[in-house]
Chains A and B, each alone.
Chain A
Amino acid sequence: MHHLLPLLVALPLLGAAVLVATGRHLPRIAAEITGFAVSGGTAALAVVLLLDSSPPMVEWVGGWLPVGGESVGILVVGDGPALGMATLVSLLTLAALAYSWRYFDQPPHGRTGTFTALMLVFQGGMCGFAIAGDLFNAFVFFELMSVTAYALTGYRIDEAKAVQGALTFGVVNSLGAYAMLMGIALLYARTGELAMTKIGRGLDSAAGQGGPDALVLASFVLVLTGLLVKAAAVPFHFWLPDAHAVAPTPVCMLLSGVMVELGAYGVWRVYGTVFAGPGGIPAADLTRALVTLGAVTAAVGAVMCWYQRHIKRLLAYSTVAHTGLFVIGLGILTPEGDDGVALYMLGHAGVKAALFACAGVLLDRFGSVDEHALHGRAGQLRATGVMFGIGALGLAGLPTFGTGLGKAITEEAVGGPLTVVFVAASAVTAGAVLRVTARVFLGLGPRPEDAEYETSGSDEEPETPGLLGRIPDTMTIVPAVLLAAALAVGSVPGFGELVARYVNETGSGGAHVSVHWTLHGAVLGVASTVLAAALAALAVTRPRWVAAPDWAAPLRRLQSGHVGDYVAWLLVGATVLGALALPGVLGG
């Protein structure tokens, strides 16, 4: 079975290559069916492998089995978290392809399957990153998914915002990737290995009794910089709103639903296999670094989310806030935290993708995703409006959504004052989405006033041939299915336990964690939801009370759209990361 692991990468790539080779002669419907079949086949393979992943599988690509513990080949891992991410990637790609069924007005002339092919390459790249067990190989697939994502983000070349967002995305992410490669080179110099587990052991034996030194710290900072850029942790996050707000909707579903989460997953994987030993970065320092960055990320994401009027940008900031929560949950390094975040990511992927899908309906029906311009105009889109509202409740963590269960378990694992961050961030982001629901779909409250420094969502080009008179069924069914899936993650009895077992088998040596709804978690989930509803009600009825206070204006000005600012922040972020992890190195 383990020989099939690399097929998670090979199948989508093969599908893409076949689509491009035959693209000139293929009718559009055939290209889309091919894409669907390939993506679905990969998803099925991922599920089959996942069910077989206990005990975890490893595969040496090319059959380079280790001789005397040493190999020259590339290691691919098939454990629960890796295959779980690959499954999530594949299912979400399938959903995005279904949503974009006959979606774009015209593919480039004579190149029918190009969009589908790019989506398949994107899927292959993300799967490859998820199952990578070799650090350089992880870099290669990191770049593959990035390159595809840049192209997909800039797909609508007639949009000025789209090409600018895609370039910012490309520059910042590529710089992060090169920082990561510098870190990999340092680790190779120290340990002479590239497989993550071997690097980890090499660091331990090189350190001896001494503990980590500056080289370990620098490589840790550089590798994590790359991964945290992908995960959009503050202050590496600036590219995300600019890119996610302008990408085509099906691409947004993947970017926000799973690509950003892959960055957080990468942090978890790399820390656990490379830096967790005595020669790596001490646990206390990692926790300090990740919890600090995660809390700031959640706060900044939530505040910025609240003050957006561009609906897709608003959703993008809510992704920033939620990844902040994921980073906190992973940073505390407990089995409960890992399990909670795994469930939270699954639920969040469904909810966020559904919300983007609904925003896409608005875009194609009205040519606008601007909360102010759309005020009261979307009343007849009942199904979409209902789903948008349900999505907001999911974002808040209402029982029994998967987001709610994941959040409850993570909160319990984190404990203490950080619980406030979880409740507040989920309530504020959900409140913003509920506010949009109330204004756009229900037409409640007065029409809000425009601010001076902001991105409006008016005058957007629809992604379909002209404005849609009637919403195609796929654009309603897909978000409905995604929301149902997010609900199922938290409600199906035993699913949480199953996820926990798969995660802990790899992450924490098979620790048993009881994963189920508790009164405490349910109460906090309901509290977040009530708070979100209250905030939304206040915003709609008394807009002045919750208008941007003066202290929020500088925060908004930081998001300047200037790529030079973002690069400067990236350097500051790397320095901060180094400073936060420094005590462990000095102490050693």
Chain B
Amino acid sequence: MNTAMHVLPYLVAVYVFLTGCYGLATSRNLIHAVGCLAVCQSATYVLLLAVGYRDGATAPVFSDIEPGSRPVVDPVVQALTLTDIVVGATVTALLLALVLQIAKRHGTVDPDELRELRG
């Protein structure tokens, strides 16, 4: 593999994170904003899994391969990613619940039109 391939997966994570931030900052709809937050979080999955990858390796599950017969990817980052996914899903659910209530109380989900808190 050439040098570019050695950093490309990491750069993808950075790109995804910054894209999510851009979406969050310019969002005109809070549901979309919560989605953008999930995009930012996806960057952490990409980064974690990229960090744990090993060339030519398979999943660290030994029910059908002999231990030591093949390299396996780093199981720790996989477990961390699983935790991360659960955290992300629950945060998204909670934030969407709040958006739902904002829609009811303010009659809008456009952050530009929320004028209650300022100064």
Which residues in A have some Cβ–Cβ distance to B below 8 Å?
A: 136, 140, 143, 147, 150-151, 154, 157-161, 163-168, 170-171, 174-175, 178, 181-182, 185-186, 188-189, 194, 241-242, 245-246, 307, 451, 453-455, 556-557, 559-565, 567-568, 571
Contact = CB atoms under 8 A, between A and B. Distances in A.
Contact of B94 (A159, A170, A175, A242): A170
A165 B91 contact: no
B98 A174 contact: no
A136 B80 CA distance: 8
Given A147-B91, A170-B91, A181-B44, A559 B33 contact: no
B98 A154 contact: yes
Q: Which 5 A-B pairs have the closest CB atoms?
A: A160-B105, A561-B117, A454-B119, A163-B101, A189-B51
B30 to A, nearest CB: 7
Among B13, B30, B77, B87, chain A packs the most CB atoms within 10 A around the CB of B87
Q: A interface, by DSSP: helix, strand, loop or mixed?
A: helix
B44 to A, nearest CB: 5
Interface string B11-42: 00100010001001111001001100100110
Contact of B105 (A143, A163, A307): A163
A159 B91 contact: no
A45 B116 CA distance: 43
Contacts of B91: 143, 147, 170, 174
B37 A174 contact: yes
Contact of A175 (B26, B30, B40, B117): B40
A186 B47 CA distance: 8
Given A564-B24, A564-B111, A140 B101 contact: no
Contact of A159 (B30, B33, B77, B105): B105
Contacts of B80: 136
Contact of B77 (A147, A178, A188): A188
A165 B105 CA distance: 13
Nearest to B92: A174
Interface string B81-106: 00110010011001100110110011
A178 B30 CA distance: 19
A151 B94 contact: yes
Contact of B111 (A143, A178, A562): A562
B94 A563 contact: no
A559 B116 CA distance: 11
B116 A178 contact: no
A166 B94 CA distance: 10
B87 A140 contact: yes
Interface size class of B (residues with CB under 8 A): 35 or more
B73 interface: no
Given A165-B117, A181-B84, A568 B101 contact: no
A178 B119 contact: no
Given A147-B91, A150-B95, A175 B37 contact: yes
A190 to B, nearest CB: 9
Given A185-B51, A568-B25, A150 B117 contact: no
A181 B51 CA distance: 13
B33 A563 contact: yes
B36 to A, nearest CB: 9
Nearest to B112: A562
Contact of B47 (A154, A185, A455, A567): A185
Contacts of A453: 118-119
29 contacts: A147-B94, A150-B94, A160-B106, A163-B102, A167-B102, A170-B91, A170-B95, A170-B98, A171-B24, A171-B34, A178-B41, A181-B48, A181-B84, A182-B17, A182-B47, A185-B48, A242-B117, A307-B119, A453-B118, A455-B116, A455-B119, A556-B119, A559-B118, A561-B116, A562-B111, A562-B112, A563-B24, A563-B30, A565-B25
A171 B106 contact: no
A242 B37 CA distance: 19
B115 interface: yes
B118 A175 contact: no
Contacts of A560: 118
B76 interface: yes
B98 to A, nearest CB: 4
A559 B98 contact: no
B114 interface: yes
A181 B80 CA distance: 10
A150 B98 contact: yes
B106 A164 contact: yes
A140 B43 CA distance: 17
A188 B21 contact: no
A161 B26 CA distance: 22
A182 B43 contact: yes
Contact of B118 (A182, A189, A561, A567): A561
